[in-house]
Amino acid sequence: MKLISEIFHENCDGDGKMTPDTLRELLQSLCDQHVGLWDPTDVDNVLANWADKGSIDFDDFLSWVYHDSAMLSPRDASSASPRHLTINFDVNKTIVMRDKTANKSVEVVINEVLAETSWGRVVEDQWMIVSTRPSSLRPEVDGEELVSYAEFLEQRLPGSDRRKERQKHKGAFTAPGSVGEPMAQHHRNLCKQLVYPDGSPVQVVHAFFRLLVELKRSKRSFSLIFRSFGEDLELVAQELNSFCEGKHPLFPGFRMDGSDGEPDYRFHITHPERFGNFHIENEDLHLVLGTIEQPGEGRYKDVADRSLTFYETHQLPVTRIISGMSAVVDFIWELSAQCLTAGFRDNFQYWKMKGHKQEGGKFFLFDASRSTLRHEIFFDDNVHFQDLKIVRPYHRMRQRRSWWGLPLLRTHVCRADALRAINDDLYFVAEVQRLEANYESKLAVMQRCSTCLKRLPIKHSTLTLPSLEREKYDAWENLRRDERTLPATSDSDADFLSPLAVASPEGKEGKLRLC
């Protein structure tokens, strides 16, 4: 470690930091020294961790090398067993396309999805459809940046006080005579995917259950954690339990209820240790077990006391409250190591207070190291590319630090695509496979990096940095995602299912020509 420190500081800028370009030359020289199984591709993967930073702190670099890789034992492919998966699933528009809480049918929710993924241009204050194929990413037509219908509504009807009007127009997007009528066939096709053989509506998309089937058939160890800002966990519990008990219309007889001696994945919202909500007070994290009721939400929307004493004064069925980041981390880590299903309501008010940014998003605990024999994953349809927006990553061993989102999008976090989740039964299977492959590749590169650095000769004076004239290096040039390709929707519309927030008396909406 002393040797690495000396090399680093000999080549830093005098402030204890090094530019990504200089670090690249240092790591590239390891290839020239033949000190390990190391090549330029490995260098690219290492630098991807700091591709958006102008300088790299030595402590950050050393922590990455030693904590995350040098302390790990080399992987033995012959004896390695698959990692335990902890899969966090957002609910609304990730696995559920029907809003029972707000009394929205499948047809209405699909209209909302299409309004967010149909693209056009604004002509004389009216939205006109251009692309007749829905897309979760913004297309370009002859260099023109198109606008989704949902974005147009946000421009014409801005603010939370006009949210009901936006939802009304989105919910009728493909109706006869509306601007989205050309998308009516896509609406019919998507709705057909969300109907059971007997004609009853699908609650949870088939792709979710297909993932469970594949995980069980491959004998994977895994845990499921449902996450939501709303009150829809009970709906998911009913559908999942029916599936686990062999009653699902498309998977009859397939069981995950423990009756075959394997783990029981049924989800009971009355379970004292697997059901609750996150509460943040004075920036301290608490986990309230036994209820998903929150001060400021639902039937308690107007309560004045939004502290922890709220749970005492309203006599809610709280089993216990876990307080403090370390205690919550320990609980979640231990719980998610088991083969089970749990569900927690996240704190929308805190996310709103933080400006709908990553630092106030859904708490996501992970530990990117091989020694854990685990892999944590989070699916959410509202994830963004740079700031993850709705997911707050939290490394178990590096507490109180923020995390850049782009690397995690390759290994731990997936922006769920509602269109693909509906149309492709193997969508979640493929995404888990992609994240696992990228995670294994990352761990292997970390291992090779630490091995090479430990093999540096004691007399390192011959380790010189070549001076190359070239443009600024971008390790993520081929992987970087443009945030502008994401549709911009109102933050007040994002994954929030409180009944009082969406209920609207008939005839209250204002009149506006939007078609």
Residue 214 shares a structural domain with residue 184: no
- Confidence tier at 68 by pLDDT (50, 70, 90): very low
- Confidence tier at 86 by pLDDT (50, 70, 90): very high
- Confidence tier at 464 by pLDDT (50, 70, 90): low
What is the pLDDT at residue 273?
A: 93
What is the pLDDT at residue 447?
A: 80
Residue 282 shares a structural domain with residue 390: yes
Report whether pLDDT(511) > 70: no
Report whether pLDDT(108) > 70: yes
Residue 455 DSSP one-character state = T
What is the pLDDT at residue 385?
A: 87
Q: For residues 2 and 132, which has the higher predicted lDDT (pLDDT)? A: 132
Residue 266 counted as domain residue: yes
Report whether pLDDT(72) > 60: no
Residue 445 counted as domain residue: no
CA distance 23 to 43: 9
Residue 448 counted as domain residue: no
Report whether pLDDT(91) > 80: yes
What is the pLDDT at residue 130?
A: 94
Residue 56 shares a structural domain with residue 125: no
Residue 490 counted as domain residue: yes
Lowest pLDDT segment from 321-330, 356-365, 380-389, 495-504 = 495-504
Residue 36 DSSP one-character state = S
Residue 449 counted as domain residue: no
- Confidence tier at 440 by pLDDT (50, 70, 90): very high
The strand pair at 413-415 and 391-395 is best described as: unpaired
CA distance 513 to 501: 24
Pair 202, 66: CB distance under 8 Å: no
Residue 271 shares a structural domain with residue 253: yes
The strand pair at 341-345 and 222-228 is best described as: parallel
Nearest to 377 by CA among 215, 206, 204, 194: 215
What is the pLDDT at residue 1?
A: 43
- Confidence tier at 16 by pLDDT (50, 70, 90): low
* Average of per-residue pLDDT across 62-83: 53
Lowest pLDDT segment from 265-274, 427-436, 488-497 = 488-497
User: H-type helices in 318-375, by residue range?
Assistant: 325-335, 348-353
Nearest to 290 by CA among 317, 309, 311, 315: 317
Residue 329 shares a structural domain with residue 283: yes
- Confidence tier at 111 by pLDDT (50, 70, 90): very high
Residue 287 shares a structural domain with residue 148: no
Nearest to 375 by CA among 195, 223, 248: 223
- Confidence tier at 496 by pLDDT (50, 70, 90): very low
Q: Is the Cα dihedral 375, 381, 387, 389 positive or negative?
A: negative
Quote the pTM value: 0.81
Residue 373 counted as domain residue: yes
Nearest to 148 by CA among 131, 164, 167: 131
> Could you report the per-residue pLDDT of 140-162, keeping only the tens digit for each?
888 888 999 999 999 999 988 89
> Could you report the per-residue pLDDT of 231-263, keeping only the tens digit for each?
889 889 999 999 999 999 989 999 999 999 999
- Confidence tier at 287 by pLDDT (50, 70, 90): very high
Q: In what order do the strands lie in the sheet containing 284-289?
A: 320-323, 284-289, 275-281, 341-345, 222-228, 84-90, 374-380, 413-415
Lowest pLDDT segment from 28-42, 142-156, 437-451 = 28-42
> Could you report the per-residue pLDDT of 171-181, keeping only the tens digit for each?
999 999 999 99
Report whether pLDDT(311) > 90: yes
Residue 274 shares a structural domain with residue 401: yes
Residue 334 shares a structural domain with residue 376: yes
Residue 181 counted as domain residue: yes
Residue 417 shares a structural domain with residue 297: yes
Q: What is the CATH number of the domain that holds 14?
A: 1.10.238
* Average of per-residue pLDDT across 493-510: 41
Q: How many domains are there within the chain?
A: 3
Report whether pLDDT(438) > 50: yes
Q: Domain limits at 259?
A: 85-96+204-436
Report whether pLDDT(95) > 80: yes
Residue 368 shares a structural domain with residue 337: yes
CA distance 383 to 361: 10
Contacts of 438 (CB under 8 A, 6+ apart): 410, 411
* Average of per-residue pLDDT across 51-66: 65
What is the pLDDT at residue 358?
A: 92
Residue 321 shares a structural domain with residue 366: yes
Q: Is the Cα dihedral 100, 105, 108, 109 positive or negative?
A: positive
What is the pLDDT at residue 20?
A: 74
Residue 290 shares a structural domain with residue 374: yes
The angle formed by the CA atoms of residues 353, 411 and 390, to the nearest 5 degrees, is 15
Q: What value does the mean pLDDT of the chain take?
A: 82
> Could you report the per-residue pLDDT of 329-379, keeping only the tens digit for each?
999 999 999 999 999 999 999 999 999 999 999 999 999 888 899 999 999
Report whether pLDDT(36) > 80: no
Residue 217 counted as domain residue: yes
